[in-house]
Structure 1
């Protein structure tokens, strides 16, 4: 991937109404063709540009796409979350409806380009992709959602609580450089901003009622929803709910791949995305 640049978003684009502008880390990747469709990659709840590693670039080259990767506010090199700031229950909706459109505006992505644009999201990023597709049904060519969340499951909460214990286990480790916190620090300027922003809201009892299934019916763009059977953060009920809410969606179950099939079942996932997208690129 090429070196990061930064886009500045106005305060009104922030999903929790922080006063002051936001600096958003982003990179353009993929093929060098101004006429190629754009694929926007939306990272997971602890992700960033760097945590994608080389997968977005390789996928864009395979499919002949321009790619846009960015770190959401609170992540990577983007403006961190204030230590006193807690994300609201609807933080993913605001990311889809406010922050992403504002970033596209700041980068000069036209309406015509957006109509040919694909979203490729993982985990929380997949949920944001679904919410964007529902909010702008005619402003998108299609979406691929990997390990999406559309409601809260007990398995998700239990795994996220376990992740918190691992993150806070630094004092018990003989080598602090091997802890989860140390590993995540390589990818985020303010690692506590990234971790607790995500972890606190997912473990908040109020978040147990979060459910976006009924908001998905406006989606008209082609949609591929992928879930692995051995995902420790969610079950097949997630993509089954998507299939019921969006009847034209293509629902794909992987026998293995965990929560990150783009890392742990890469060849299988890439082939599935290739088959799905090639028949639809340029069709809308």
Structure 2
């Protein structure tokens, strides 16, 4: 596999930092990874490479606006920032890179964006997998953010995040916790309207011990999508099962792609 990093201009003064993992002879659609609220390309660690190698598919990982070397984002974040990322900027990035068919893999905020994108992009999305996605603000999410705000002030969390986000660390953290602690944002957040339009095979995953989301997020997402969706609460896993149970997740998603969505492609 070849790994290439690049900047991709998308118009309106926006450039996104992109990493492409490309096979000599790629099979099937491109795996597209969407990072969490405090995440980045690097914080996916080896998960994208392992899944690309297992499936034979190419992979695309990118930093949203405000992250890494991507363009600055609008601050404070508008209430619809996650939806705009899914129905506007992701399709625009795929168009620019001339990628016609994708499998979306999203974690946390990236999972929510993936749900929106799958609802917006129709049959361009061949399969969808989310980990710790949320379609509304629940009490565990809000309590987890409150706790993280304290840890950010009182522990070495800021220094650890700064290894990846550099001088943008405070901006990224404050943008995240400020909008999520806004009661008007909490009241407005409802991604359920995107779910019925998702037609591809879908797997909704959450760790049983996820401190940022109630298990009803899984059941409600699956119910909103319908019979083409399946849910899984993963034992002994928290908010980041792709890191905590990496090899298990690679095997799980590989089997899902083979059996449910991509016969004759990723196998």
Farther-moved stretch of structure 1 (120-129 vs 97-106): 97-106
Farther-moved stretch of structure 1 (210-219 vs 223-232): 210-219
**Which aligned pairs between 1:1-284 and structure 2 lie closer than 5 A?**
2-11=3-12, 21-34=13-26, 36-81=28-73, 85-109=75-99, 113-114=100-101, 117-169=102-154, 179-189=156-166, 190-209=168-187, 210-248=189-227, 249-279=229-259, 280-282=261-263
Look up the match of 1:16: none
SS at match of 2:205: strand
Give yes or no for contact 1:243–1:251 (8 Å, CA) kept in 2.
yes
The CA deviation string for residues 227-269 of structure 1, in whole angstroms up to 9 with x for no partner, is: 1110000011001001211122011111221000001122322
Compute the displacement of 1:196 (Å): 1.7
Compute the displacement of 1:74 (Å): 0.7
Q: Aligned residue pairs: how many?
A: 260
Give yes or no for contact 1:32–1:66 (8 Å, CA) kept in 2.
no
SS at match of 1:138: helix
Farther-moved stretch of structure 1 (132-141 vs 190-199): 190-199
C-alpha separation in 2, matches of 1:106 and 1:142: 21
Alignment RMSD = 1.7
Task: Write 1 or 2 for the structure with the bigger share of helix.
Answer: 2
C-alpha separation in 2, matches of 1:235 and 1:53: 26
Compute the displacement of 1:37 (Å): 1.9
Look up the match of 1:15: none
Task: Write 1 or 2 for the structure with the bigger share of strand.
Answer: 2
C-alpha separation in 2, matches of 1:251 and 1:127: 15
Normalised to the residue count of structure 2, the TM-score between the two structures is 0.92
C-alpha separation in 2, matches of 1:245 and 1:139: 20
Give yes or no for contact 1:47–1:76 (8 Å, CA) kept in 2.
no
Normalised to the residue count of structure 1, the TM-score between the two structures is 0.87
SS at match of 1:274: helix
Farther-moved stretch of structure 1 (141-150 vs 22-31): 22-31
C-alpha separation in 2, matches of 1:233 and 1:63: 30
List gaps (5 residues or longer) in structure 1.
Answer: 12-20, 174-178
Give yes or no for contact 1:81–1:194 (8 Å, CA) kept in 2.
no
Compute the displacement of 1:35 (Å): 5.2
C-alpha separation in 2, matches of 1:272 and 1:50: 22
Compute the displacement of 1:142 (Å): 0.9
Give yes or no for contact 2:8–2:16 (8 Å, CA) kept in 1.
yes
**Residue 143 to residue 207, structure 1, CA distance change in 2 (3 Å):** same
Compute the displacement of 1:33 (Å): 2.5
